[in-house]
Structure 1
Amino acid sequence: MVSYCRERLLPIADIITPNVKEASALLGGAQIKTVAEMRSAAKLLHEMGPRFVLVKGGDLPNSSESVDVFFDGKEFHELRSPRIATRNTHGTGCTLASCIAAELAKGSSMLSAVKVAKRFVDNALDYSKNMVIGTGRQGPFDHFFCLNKNLQSSRCSIFNPDDLFLYAVTDSRMNKKWNRSIVDAVKAAIEGGATIIQLREKEAETREFLEEAKSCVGICRSHGVCLLINDRIDIALACDADGVHVGQSDMPVDQVRSLLGPDKIIGVSCKTPEQAHQAWKDGADYIGSGGVFPTNTKANNRTIGLDGLETVCKASKLPVVAIGGIGISNAESVMQINAPNLKGVAVVSALFDQECVFTQAKKLHKTLKETTREM
């Protein structure tokens, strides 16, 4: 059976999605116990013929995360999410594959389809983790959890800190300068590699902002990328965004949480260890720290430098994304402070004050990947 799969099925497959045990069997019993070995396995499996390979790491030993490795023949993508402790895992592999197929039928790219599918399975597992059906060693999860009237069907309800990797913050003035809509800008950023989007539209009228936000939510959901709204809690609620980002002078985090509920993402701008600690106490999910370098995006914005960023990271109990004057030329130096909770960089002009958002996002994503791989 294994030889038949290798010789007849793999060469004609668009994508294969083996878990580590199945990948090992296809490779003649190769050891796969680390993410590095998963990457090697994905490459070897790709050489057998499929266009794409997703090696699933749900069974990876001694890991607090669920890490899947996606390989397209050129680039590796590590898709990470918190491991969910539950016995209700029966059917997860079939569900993932079916969801990928459904997303492809809707016109998604393969990587986007995989991201959406993984998030769906993560959400279903989280929703079903305490469900009890039967007495066997393994139970099923609820495939229809989205129909629960208390849930939003496509919300990114599980925050993954790794989504902060390439954090794109929009700017309406920059997009108008280059004669493009916010919707086109967001789509290009995601397709270039942005892993999370924040809509920061200071000059837009409320109705205009809401309509743009609704359109951007649709784009982000179709790509499995979270969308946050800067400051405007009302807009976030009205468009069902995945969360908000607030500053020190905006509504306090605990009040934001009471309005948005427990499942939405809340980020807070912090320049000091004290602010970072308060954000954690108030229930934020992550902090944005900066400005790291001088920037024209915000007037009178005090910079904290790399030393200040490192100080905040060391003090913070939350994931951190660096912001302020960051671009291709200095992103490497930011990530090289090598703080475990520094998850990525937030950029504005490096993407949106450029002629081609897609190209710049792709270049910056590549720079970040190469930097983090070397650390």
Structure 2
Amino acid sequence: MASGVVILSNSLSFYQKRIVMSSRMQEKNGGASIPHVLSVAGSDSGAGAGIQADLKACAARGVYCSTVITSVTAQNTVGVQAVHAVPEDFVAQQLKSVLSDMQVDVVKTGMLPSVGVVKVLLQSLTEFSVRALVVDPVMVSTSGDVLAGPSILSTFREELLPMANIVTPNIKEASALLGGIRLETVADMRNAAELLHALGPRNVLVKGGDLPDSLDAVDIFFNGEHFYELRSSRIKTRNTHGTGCTLASCIAAELAKGSPMLTAVRVAKRYVETALEYSKDILIGNGIQGPFDHLLRLKSGSHSFHRKDAFNPSDLFLYAVTDSGMNKKWGRSTVDAVAAAIQGGATIVQLRDKDAGTKDFLETAKSCLAVCRSHGVPLLINDRVDVALASDADGVHVGQSDMPATVARTLLGPEKIIGVSCKTIEQAQQAWIGSADYIGCGGVYSTNTKANNPTIGLDGLKTVCSASKLPVVAIGGINASNAGTVMEMGVPNLKGVAIVSALFDRENVLAETKKLHALLMEASSSSSSSSSKIQ
């Protein structure tokens, strides 16, 4: 290429040309591109939701955020006192100003107050391509009032949703988009997600924060092929204003950084849960619904924030531990076995291979990590901190005779997940002091893989769980005949069960994982119902 002239092939898309031009400009100026989200939404004078929440959420996720304001509101923690819509031609000018100059990766929408504004946005997106469109259909107030009339609902359904990479309605918004159907159960949410997907968006996330009689915050993600039930602790607080805007903005931010869709959704849900927990007792305003603190990272220290952000205890629910010997016995690769387990509902994977050399183990880890990342499922390496580092796995699980958790934390850093096998209260205490994220408690039952390993039984598990300061996954000899019994105990801190033989020493890993997932869901529901009756 002579004289620094940029030659662009006519076969390149408009966006590909922009990427090449941007790259050349960055090289010329000695700069580097950072992920960029454009928020097209309303302004909240109370700064808990809308544009203000989007700016703070993207900043917290390390992403640049530009804005196009569609409406200006006078609102506080008491409610919305006035709304002033920005003229459509001025919205168009804002869009052109940003999109024609700045390399936007993802557009996130919030309040779109008129059919005209929706059409202006759609026109801009045909002129200036972006990687993804995240649609948060802000059309129902906290009190349940529909803020968008039939015409804008029709435009959403017919024109905006088919353009979206993901749409993120709460149950009231999903109901409005689907003509007022009732959404009262998780099954209703799954049905709504499927119906919304039929309208054209590539992915749907129906948020169940307002689901009645639910002990957890349950969201349903549907990508057209698989449903994912995402659960987190329900934080009891008045400071929930802006959670929907924030979740959608976090998804946009993670997509801008290059994350797969399900991973982006999982990270966003964890961030909102962490921020709610941190902010549950702050007092801003006199109304019934206050804002939460998006920038807890600046106040709580990067170490503790990253640790909570990187690990969600709910991921321990169905903890699949691979066994290379069992997979060889059934004539399949470890990678294929991991993929089948994830498709069946495994929520976290531990890669274990005692016989493989370092080179082979590392290659297997990298291949398994690609599968796990594409589904948003964490991958941990058994014992081998060196392999976890070299493969950039999500973390490591160590035993009592392996590297201490404190050393593993020093090597891996604050963002990785560390689990420790424990049998006693003292070992659990040391794991907590050593900055572990969770403990694996057992063996609960005898197992063929560790025949000489003493068991602690259900009573031992209950004792350690009750005393632990960390979330617990039960390990050792757990299968379809006893997993329900373990989960139905409902003891504090017990988040899931680790399964080896009952998954991987079987001909059909997918079918066995599905069966165990359904069994655990039923047992957890039974345990939750019993707990609620006691309370």
Q: Do these two structures clear the TM 0.5 threshold for a shared fold by scoring above it?
A: yes
TM-fit CA distance, 1:205: 0.6
Between the aligned partners of 1:44 and 1:181, the Cα distance in structure 2 is 35
Structure 1 partner of 2:363? 211
**Structure 2 residue aligned with 1:93, among 248, 252, 262?**
248
8 Å contact kept, 1:96–1:117: yes
Which secondary structure does the structure 2 equivalent of 1:300 belong to?
Answer: coil
TM-fit CA distance, 1:336: 1.4
Deviations 1:100-157 (A, max 9, x none): 8999xx9x8xxxx4x323134357879999xxxxxxx999x99xxxxxxx9xxxx995
Between the aligned partners of 2:208 and 2:438, the Cα distance in structure 1 is 25
Change (3 A) 1:58 1:50: same
8 Å contact kept, 1:157–1:264: no
Pick which of 332-341 and 196-205 moved more.
332-341
8 Å contact kept, 1:88–1:128: no
Between the aligned partners of 2:241 and 2:177, the Cα distance in structure 1 is 26
**Structure 1 residue aligned with 2:472, among 313, 320, 335?**
320
Between the aligned partners of 1:358 and 1:338, the Cα distance in structure 2 is 27
1:39 equivalent to 2:186? Answer yes
Deviations 1:173-203 (A, max 9, x none): 1011001111111111111110000011000
Change (3 A) 1:100 1:9: farther
TM-fit CA distance, 1:278: 1.2
Between the aligned partners of 1:101 and 1:364, the Cα distance in structure 2 is 35
Identity %: 57
1:18 equivalent to 2:169? Answer yes
8 Å contact kept, 1:88–1:125: no
Between the aligned partners of 1:240 and 1:323, the Cα distance in structure 2 is 25
1:69 equivalent to 2:220? Answer yes
**Structure 1 residue aligned with 2:434, among 282, 303, 306?**
282
Between the aligned partners of 1:329 and 1:234, the Cα distance in structure 2 is 36
1:325 counterpart letter in structure 2: G
Which secondary structure does the structure 2 equivalent of 1:299 belong to?
Answer: coil
Gaps of at least 5 residues in structure 2 are 1-147, 277-289, 296-301, 528-535
TM-fit CA distance, 1:6: 6.4
1:241-320 aligned within 5 A: 241-320=393-472
Structure 1 partner of 2:122? none
1:55 equivalent to 2:201? Answer no
8 Å contact kept, 2:484–2:519: yes
1:100-119 aligned within 5 A: 113=261, 115-119=262-266
Between the aligned partners of 1:48 and 1:198, the Cα distance in structure 2 is 35
Change (3 A) 1:30 1:78: same
1:54 counterpart letter in structure 2: L
TM-fit CA distance, 1:257: 0.6
2:405 counterpart letter in structure 1: V
Deviations 1:281-334 (A, max 9, x none): 111100001111111011311111111111110111110000111111110111
Which secondary structure does the structure 2 equivalent of 1:339 belong to?
Answer: coil
Structure 2 partner of 1:345? 497
8 Å contact kept, 1:116–1:222: yes
Between the aligned partners of 1:166 and 1:4, the Cα distance in structure 2 is 45
Between the aligned partners of 2:268 and 2:335, the Cα distance in structure 1 is 28
Structure 1 partner of 2:51? none
Gaps of at least 5 residues in structure 1 are 130-136, 143-149
Structure 1 partner of 2:120? none
Between the aligned partners of 1:156 and 1:354, the Cα distance in structure 2 is 35
Deviations 1:24-65 (A, max 9, x none): 655889999xxxx4637625745866458532256889x998
1:214-229 aligned within 5 A: 214-229=366-381
1:210 counterpart letter in structure 2: L
8 Å contact kept, 1:169–1:197: yes
Change (3 A) 1:175 1:74: closer
Which secondary structure does the structure 2 equivalent of 1:248 belong to?
Answer: coil
Between the aligned partners of 2:463 and 2:265, the Cα distance in structure 1 is 34
Q: Comparing both chains, which one has the higher relative contact order based on Cα–Cα distances under 8 Å and sequence gaps of 6 or more? A: 1
Change (3 A) 1:339 1:226: same
Q: How many residues align?
A: 348
Q: Looking at CA atoms only, which structure, 1 or 2, has the larger radius of gyration?
A: 2
8 Å contact kept, 2:477–2:499: yes
TM-fit CA distance, 1:273: 1.0
Between the aligned partners of 1:292 and 1:245, the Cα distance in structure 2 is 18
2:326 counterpart letter in structure 1: M
8 Å contact kept, 2:322–2:352: yes
Change (3 A) 1:282 1:86: farther
Between the aligned partners of 2:522 and 2:257, the Cα distance in structure 1 is 32
**Structure 1 residue aligned with 2:352, among 175, 193, 200?**
200
Between the aligned partners of 2:155 and 2:451, the Cα distance in structure 1 is 62
8 Å contact kept, 1:119–1:156: no
Deviations 1:182-232 (A, max 9, x none): 111111111111000001100001100000001111111011000000100
TM-score norm. by structure 2 comes to 0.55
Change (3 A) 1:44 1:242: closer
TM-fit CA distance, 1:366: 0.6
Which secondary structure does the structure 2 equivalent of 1:116 belong to?
Answer: helix
Change (3 A) 1:47 1:285: closer
TM-score norm. by structure 1 comes to 0.77
Change (3 A) 1:208 1:339: same
Between the aligned partners of 1:100 and 1:336, the Cα distance in structure 2 is 37
Structure 2 partner of 1:166? 318
